[in-house]
Structure 1
Amino acid sequence: MAGAGKVPTGFAAETYISEASFRQAHRSIEGNNGQSKKRKREKKGDSSIMSGAGAYKGPWARFEEERPDAALDDEFGDDEEIEIVYEEDDIEENPTAAPKKLAGTDYADTEAEGETSEFVGSQEYDYQGRTYMHVPTDLNIKLTGDRGDVKNFHPKKLIHTFKYHTKSITQTRFFPDSGHLILSASADSKIAIWDAYHNRELLRTYSGHKKSVNDIDFAPSGTQFISASYDRFMKLWDTETGKCLNKFTTGKTPHVVRINPSSPHEFLAGMSDKKILQYDTRSGELVQEYDHHLGPVNTITFCDEDRRFVTTSDDKSLRAWEYGIPVPIKFIAEADMFAMVRSSPHPSGKYMAFQSSDNQIVVYSSTDRFRQNRKKSYRGHNVAGYAPDVAISPDGQFVSSGDSGGYVCFWDWKTCKMYHKIKASDSPVLAVQWHPRETSKLITGDLDGVLKYWD
């Protein structure tokens, strides 16, 4: 260590040198038998000259022997540009590359692995050879045909608890129209399908994603469903056999997937790189790209008989699109808007409800003007740090939502007053879905991976 202080040519700063570097430098100065080797320095130069021939070098003047072209100095003068090589910097020939390590935020390259599915129910076929896809007809409730004007009521009691998942439930879906099956997706990378009637048992599991599955959506027929995961893959599955029919990826994370109800062979995916992608499941090709958002896309909601759709994003805006045309027909970004993280269409087809990050549910019209209905705001629940689902009852009378305190909250659609709340879990309730046929049945999924069925 050299002490700091004034020297005639300026100021010398304190520095540190390692033992190894010091010994190496020391040995290079020491000659044989401990006699020091005299080394001739260049001329220090004139302190009044800043650059060029005879410029001031002072203590930075190099040793003559370091310079291979010292002999040429007399001919060309002192102002040659010469590469400095410090003795400590022994440059290694052909160094071995350091082992490649992933930084904490780096993703491992997630290649798709084999998809597997297992039937775990008690009986795969009934006496007529039909699988669980067959809508049961031995119940005292009609699960097919016209729903009629059935009035909904808020549920009051827990009738069943489904346990299989080991991590948070991210989304649940009832089988389209009949609701006799429940599909659940979880952060444990698994998807499961359950029987909503009879034994209420786990029927089949679908494995193949490597990371948390963040969204699922049934095709209108229910024979297929699509899943999106943080492993950056979207996969199309056969509901009955569990076979993976197709895989889609762009290398970015899909946040939301929706199959077009009017064109079941096409689906939209809202991505982490601000794009909405439209895929054809028959060819597996990307057929359209909607790229106007400024942040990750959170929700996709079809409206106007599926001719249009509305998207929201972390950029705190709402955009409406004509299906297949990559230019927004409406853009809404108010100063008081927050990011809207979940959505649900109203059964009337005139409105959409959005879970806003400022602890309220807001409503927008799904007709031409797409304006916010300022009279409708549903408050009283807490969504801080989570993105609980929002669901509207099939008759359009109740708005329901999960809550970070473990509640399921119910509001009256017309008055916006909180009607009722159920303590559904000790952990945040993230998934809520109404049964499409029953008057008061509802499924909830919480952060602990437990599904609960209410009536």
Structure 2
Amino acid sequence: MAGFGAYPPNMAPQNALIARNAEGPEHAVVQYSADNLARATQGPANPFKDEKSSLKRKNVLTGHAEETYISEHTFRDQYRAVERRGNHLSGAEAKEESARIRSKRQKKGDSSIAEGDNAYVGPWAKYKREEYEEVNEDEPLRSDEEYEEIEEEEEDVIESGTVIAAPPQALARRQEVEKLGEETTTFEGSEQYDYQGRTYMHVPLDLDVDLKKEAGSFKNYVPKKMIHTWKGHTKPVVGIRFFPESGHLLLSGSADTTVKIWDAHHSRELLRTYSGHTKALTDVAFNATGTQFISGSYDRMMKLWDTETGQCINRFTTGKTPHVIRFNPDPEHSNEFLAGMADKKIVQFDTRTRELVQEYDHHLAAVNTITFVDENRRFITTSDDKSLRAWDYNIPVPIKFIAEPHMYSMTRASLHPSKKWVAYQSSDNNIFVYGATDKFRQNRKKVFKGHNNAGYAIDVACSPDGQFLASGDSGGYVCFWDWKQCKMYHKFQASKEAVTCVEWSPQESSKVATAGLDGAIRYWD
């Protein structure tokens, strides 16, 4: 070993240490996007993909780099803010700039003098502006003609075509969209009140079926024939929901921008239409009692409606499109709802204050499903990033993360009546089952096959007694499986186009509602 004096002061001998190489770029943490996860493992390079945003450029020594885009207004606003503060200057230059600004300010004056020369002005001292001309009190002001501003340059810019007026067709379309955005409601039924003054919200008692019994307390059967068709929507139906507990009403949202509510018994007529969105709807959902429901749309608005009166109670937006909306079924949090957005986030709103209460932002792509589990203390979400995450309510950190190489994105979900399992519609023509308790593991013994869902987000629904599982099909079929044996029990043609919505009646033994791209809602028994 060399002598100690051979080494510089304050430095340990090198051969007395185990040299460790510095971590290279391969150790940098990269947040892989959904596009990178889904890209082809082999084959030629994509000529249409921008190589500037590739992983090779993002994986840098200093961490994770990504591009961002801001508007011209935002850039100018921040640029001027930096200029005002002097952050772009060095230390000496910043001091000189501050001294120059202070020199332009009027003197504070003498605190013992209230009026007149050298009167005290304190913190209200004004700054001398160069663009203002200083004049004495007795000196007359110049006429406005001497300070006339010439605006010819701006007029030339407009005349040159830089600023072009909107065509009449665009203005007419804008007025039409603004008119559509006004919330209106129309009662479509035969009579709004019965002989006792009750509206359609009252659960009927004159039927052969008791609509107030506990859901799942009876045995379910697979339907065999169509008993009714509701026609009123002019475009595809995106969601149907039975009234909570009783199921005497059916709510439907459509791509024609409207929400309609139908009578599921008696005359089975259209009762009310709710209008107020400017683009196609994405989802509709009742609250726990059915007195209110919320609708989401591609116009990036979520609107809360009164089921009985049709009044729009509140409006919510984050500037992004909501893909799925779910009210919290817990009575303690019945005034809160979750919305899975197109910008990878799950947002939690309070319907009373319209405030954004919480934000869950660990997904890497658009959120598809939200399912409350474990007595509504937790919820499970799936996304286009091909992952499943479980969360504690009000805590924005996932407690479980599942992402396997063989997984596909799961587009729809249904909680089993036993509350122990959740069925997920996978994009590879399978229905998988995951646990709804602490482990959240996949039940590999339960896989439902035999239908086709490629290209569509197709509903999956469990019967109230948990005996059957139903799903739509991209070919227009409705499929039923036995829950225990995972065998297809029945399959029949319900439409010529894809069936995307399936819902079991909560109080009828064998009634199922289906809807899809043809805009009609069919009732089966």
Q: How far apart are the structure 2 equivalents of 1:305 and 1:427?
A: 38
Q: Determine whether 1:134 maps to 2:199.
A: no
Quote the offset at 1:147 in angstroms: 4.0
- The one-character-per-residue Cα deviations of 1:320-342 (angstroms, maximum 9, x if unpaired) are 00000000000000000000000
- Residue 402 of structure 1: which of 460, 466, 472 is its match? 472
Question: In the superposition, relative to structure 1, how do residues 141 and 282 fare at CA in structure 2: closer, same or farther (>3 Å)?
Answer: same
Which residue does 2:267 correspond to in 1? 199
- The one-character-per-residue Cα deviations of 1:266-290 (angstroms, maximum 9, x if unpaired) are 0000000000000000000000000
Q: How far apart are the structure 1 equivalents of 2:306 and 2:398?
A: 33
3-state SS of the aligned residue for 2:262?
Answer: strand
Q: Determine whether 1:182 maps to 2:250.
A: yes
- Structure 1 letter corresponding to 2:376: D
Q: How far apart are the structure 2 equivalents of 1:446 and 1:332?
A: 31
Which residue does 1:24 correspond to in 2? none
- Residue 349 of structure 2: which of 257, 279, 293 is its match? 279
Question: In the superposition, relative to structure 1, how do residues 324 and 408 fare at CA in structure 2: closer, same or farther (>3 Å)?
Answer: same
Q: Determine whether 1:114 maps to 2:182.
A: yes
Quote the offset at 1:446 in angstroms: 1.6
Which residue does 1:5 correspond to in 2? none
Stretches of structure 2 that go unaligned for 5 or more consecutive residues are 1-155, 168-173
- The one-character-per-residue Cα deviations of 1:185-221 (angstroms, maximum 9, x if unpaired) are 1011110000000000000000001111110110111
Q: Determine whether 1:436 maps to 2:506.
A: yes
Which residue does 1:372 correspond to in 2? 442
- Residue 311 of structure 1: which of 357, 377, 381 is its match? 381
- Residue 224 of structure 1: which of 262, 280, 292 is its match? 292
After superposition, where does 1:329-368 map in structure 2 within 5 Å? 329-368=399-438
Q: Give the TM-score of the pair, scaled to structure 2.
A: 0.67
- Structure 2 letter corresponding to 1:227: S
Determine if contact 2:464/2:506 at 8 Å carries over to the other structure. yes
- Residue 261 of structure 1: which of 329, 334, 343 is its match? 329
Q: Determine whether 1:158 maps to 2:223.
A: no
Which residue does 2:277 correspond to in 1? 209
- Structure 1 letter corresponding to 2:356: L
Determine if contact 2:461/2:471 at 8 Å carries over to the other structure. yes
Which residue does 2:164 correspond to in 1? 99
Which residue does 1:291 correspond to in 2? 361
Which residue does 2:316 correspond to in 1? 248
Structure whose alpha-carbon radius of gyration is higher: 1
Q: Determine whether 1:452 maps to 2:517.
A: no
Determine if contact 2:261/2:273 at 8 Å carries over to the other structure. yes
- Structure 1 letter corresponding to 2:218: V
- The one-character-per-residue Cα deviations of 1:4-26 (angstroms, maximum 9, x if unpaired) are xxxxxxxxxxxxxxxxxxxxxxx
- Structure 2 letter corresponding to 1:224: Q
- How many residue pairs match? The answer is 360
Q: How far apart are the structure 2 equivalents of 1:97 and 1:147?
A: 65
3-state SS of the aligned residue for 2:314?
Answer: strand
Larger proportion of helix: 2
3-state SS of the aligned residue for 1:388?
Answer: coil
Q: How far apart are the structure 1 equivalents of 2:166 and 2:521?
A: 39
- The one-character-per-residue Cα deviations of 1:144-163 (angstroms, maximum 9, x if unpaired) are 14346301000001000000
Stretches of structure 1 that go unaligned for 5 or more consecutive residues are 1-92, 103-107
- Structure 2 letter corresponding to 1:234: M
Q: How far apart are the structure 2 equivalents of 1:420 and 1:145?
A: 28
Quote the offset at 1:100 in angstroms: 7.7
Which residue does 1:414 correspond to in 2? 484
Q: How far apart are the structure 1 equivalents of 2:385 and 2:164?
A: 39
Which residue does 1:149 correspond to in 2? 217
Q: How far apart are the structure 1 equivalents of 2:505 and 2:347?
A: 29
Quote the offset at 1:101 in angstroms: 7.9
Determine if contact 2:335/2:352 at 8 Å carries over to the other structure. yes
Q: How far apart are the structure 2 equivalents of 1:388 and 1:185?
A: 15
- The one-character-per-residue Cα deviations of 1:49-83 (angstroms, maximum 9, x if unpaired) are xxxxxxxxxxxxxxxxxxxxxxxxxxxxxxxxxxx
Q: How far apart are the structure 1 equivalents of 2:449 and 2:339?
A: 29
3-state SS of the aligned residue for 1:353?
Answer: strand
- Structure 2 letter corresponding to 1:130: R
Question: In the superposition, relative to structure 1, how do residues 402 and 148 fare at CA in structure 2: closer, same or farther (>3 Å)?
Answer: closer
- Structure 1 letter corresponding to 2:363: H
Q: How far apart are the structure 2 equivalents of 1:96 and 1:408?
A: 57
Q: Percent identity, please.
A: 65
Determine if contact 2:214/2:245 at 8 Å carries over to the other structure. no
3-state SS of the aligned residue for 1:419?
Answer: strand
3-state SS of the aligned residue for 2:344?
Answer: coil
Which residue does 2:14 correspond to in 1? none
Which residue does 2:41 correspond to in 1? none
Q: How far apart are the structure 2 equivalents of 1:251 and 1:98?
A: 27
Determine if contact 2:216/2:506 at 8 Å carries over to the other structure. no
- Structure 1 letter corresponding to 2:263: D
Determine if contact 2:216/2:464 at 8 Å carries over to the other structure. no
Question: In the superposition, relative to structure 1, how do residues 381 and 283 fare at CA in structure 2: closer, same or farther (>3 Å)?
Answer: same
Question: In the superposition, relative to structure 1, how do residues 192 and 369 fare at CA in structure 2: closer, same or farther (>3 Å)?
Answer: same
Q: Give the TM-score of the pair, scaled to structure 1.
A: 0.77
Determine if contact 2:424/2:432 at 8 Å carries over to the other structure. yes
Question: In the superposition, relative to structure 1, how do residues 100 and 352 fare at CA in structure 2: closer, same or farther (>3 Å)?
Answer: farther
Give the root-mean-square deviation of aligned CA atoms. Answer: 1.8
Quote the offset at 1:96 in angstroms: 3.7
Q: How far apart are the structure 1 equivalents of 2:325 and 2:165?
A: 35
- Structure 2 letter corresponding to 1:299: T
Q: How far apart are the structure 2 equivalents of 1:273 and 1:202?
A: 35
Larger proportion of strand: 1
